[in-house]
Amino acid sequence: MNNSNIIKSELHFRREYGRKRLSMVNTRFLIPKILLFSLITAFFIANPPNSAGAEVAELRLSLVTCIKIALGDATSAKKGENNLKLQGAEVMKSYGSFLPRLSTTAGYTPYTLSRSYSPLSNPVTINKTTSQSLDLTVTTTLNLFNGFRDYASLQSALNRERAAEYTLSRALESVIYDITQTWYQALLDRELLKISRENLLSVEDQLKLADRQFQVGLKSITDLYQQQAEVEQSRLSVMKAETRMERTQLELVRRLRIEPRTKISLEADSLALTSPPAMKFDKEELVTRALDQREDLKSKAMENKAAQWQLKASRASWYPSVDLALNIRSQGVEYLNHEYPYPPLSEQVGKTVGYSARLNLTWAIFDGFQTRYAVESAKINHLNQLLDYEDLKKSIVIDLYQAAGDYASAYTQIETAQAGYTAARSAFHAVKRKYELGAASFVELSAARATLFNARSNLSQATYNLALQKNILDFTTGNVTQPQ
């Protein structure tokens, strides 16, 4: 064996030995790693992590609970409360305009140095005087007349405060209305999902029967394929219903402003699929009631009155203003170089108290048309408020007519849907028996099942739609009550 062969053999031996050694080392370290990974995996399987830090409990919600939660956290309600507080502060400010103004000033000069020539001396000399001084002043001013500006401003503030109260009440009614609408929609979507799932179970059972009938030669392969297609179509309908219900529940969570990851379940008795008692409305009576009860209309009326009083307040600048001013003042000077025999500073302040009373008359003869602009601006605001009030009044009447008509239509739809559901159910059972006996085709069975599914869905939609329309009618009339 030559040297090259020996070298090759040695390299091959070292390479194989190193590979085996590395495999032993990797195995030695790999086994503990596998055990550690297995323990960690088992721990996380037994205790799944939660991004929120703790498992979120399921929240069971009823309509009353949802309304109470929404009223406590609604942004519109909080803004209404804040605006009401602000209007209350403005009323206090308006009341304060009738009270006298009171101010006080005090000044203390610890050291004053003055130099002056003495004209009586010959030659003329410079006198240097050092002193300290103290002065106290108390002033009160009472407006006696300013063109009734203060009274008009007070009335305007009171009307705006009442308008803010009505606005807050309407905001709370809007929250109740919105939550109720979303709640009934969630119940309807849940009911439609239930119907879709029951329909899917029905067609799956029919598929099993068709498969057995195909096996024994009672049904053709075409009927089997058609039944399979109908199962897939029903499964797609279930998926769409699940998506729709999940979207509606998320909208409910959004309106309640709760944690989005919270699991919720709706607690409500299913609405009976029977016709409710007939309710006939006199539209004119509803209009009269709505115009008397609607909080937003009352708010607009108060804002209109406030704008009218503000117009009167802006005209006050055309009249003179009379103020009564009372002044109390005391002061004292103490010379530090003792050139003048003045008493101490404290004694001077106590004995030099002076009083004064003054009547001030102010009348702006020309103010660069500022008053004219203010009056025109207030007048336009009053006219705009009046237009808004009339528009809202007309809108209420139109909305009320529509709501009453929609409610009557919803009531009729329930009667029609109930009759349609009864007929579709009877027809489906009859066609199903004929199909099982071979006297009806798959197309007839599929059409009867689709008719039954649509009839049941229409009945559920009509039932919940009646509740939704009743809620709309109450909201339009202004007959919304908070839960107790």
Q: What does DSSP say about strands 264-266 and 125-145: parallel, antiparallel, or unpaired?
A: unpaired
Distance CA 137, CA 123 (A): 42
* In-domain check, residue 259: yes
Q: What is the pTM of this model?
A: 0.76
Q: Is the pLDDT of residue 206 over 90?
A: no
Residues 176 and 270 in one domain: yes
Of 45 and 194, the one with more pLDDT: 194
The one-letter code for the residue type at 325 is A
* In-domain check, residue 5: no
Residues 308 and 435 in one domain: yes
Residues 331 and 382 in one domain: no
Q: Which residue(s) pair with 117 in the sheet?
A: 126
Residues 341 and 397 in one domain: no
* DSSP secondary structure code for residue 108 in this structure: E
Residues 430 and 334 in one domain: no
* In-domain check, residue 92: yes
SS3 115: strand
Residues 204 and 223 in one domain: yes
Structure tokens at 234: 């029903």
Residues 133 and 68 in one domain: no
Residues 269 and 219 in one domain: yes
Residues 333 and 462 in one domain: no
Distance CA 438, CA 81 (A): 71
Report pLDDT digits (tens) over 126-157.
Answer: 778 788 889 999 999 999 999 999 999 999 99
Q: Which of 311, 344, 362 is where one domain is finished?
A: 362
* In-domain check, residue 49: no
Distance CA 238, CA 222 (A): 24
Q: What is the reported pLDDT for 261? A: 84
Residues 265 and 130 in one domain: no
Residue 385's CATH number: 1.20.1600.10
Residues 224 and 168 in one domain: yes
Residues 6+ apart with CB under 8 A from 34: none
Q: What is the reported pLDDT for 483? A: 61
Nearest to residue 436, comparing CAs of 208, 197, 198? 208
Q: What is the reported pLDDT for 30? A: 42
Backbone angles phi, psi at 267, to 5 degrees: -105, 105
Q: Which of 362, 390, 417 is where one domain is finished?
A: 362
Q: Which whole number is the average pLDDT over 17-24?
A: 45
Q: How far is CA 281 from CA 114, 402, 403, 413, 477, in A?
A: 94, 12, 11, 17, 12
Q: What is the reported pLDDT for 148? A: 92
Q: Which of 311, 332, 362 is where one domain is finished?
A: 362
Residues 249 and 216 in one domain: yes
* In-domain check, residue 31: no
SS3 237: helix
Ranges assigned E (strand) in 119-222: 125-145
Q: Is the pLDDT of residue 275 over 60?
A: no
* In-domain check, residue 377: yes
- CA angle (466, 468, 469) in 5-degree steps: 65
Domain count, the chain: 2
State the residue range of the domain holding 107. Answer: 103-144+324-362
* In-domain check, residue 107: yes
Distance CA 12, CA 15 (A): 5
Distance CA 444, CA 438 (A): 11
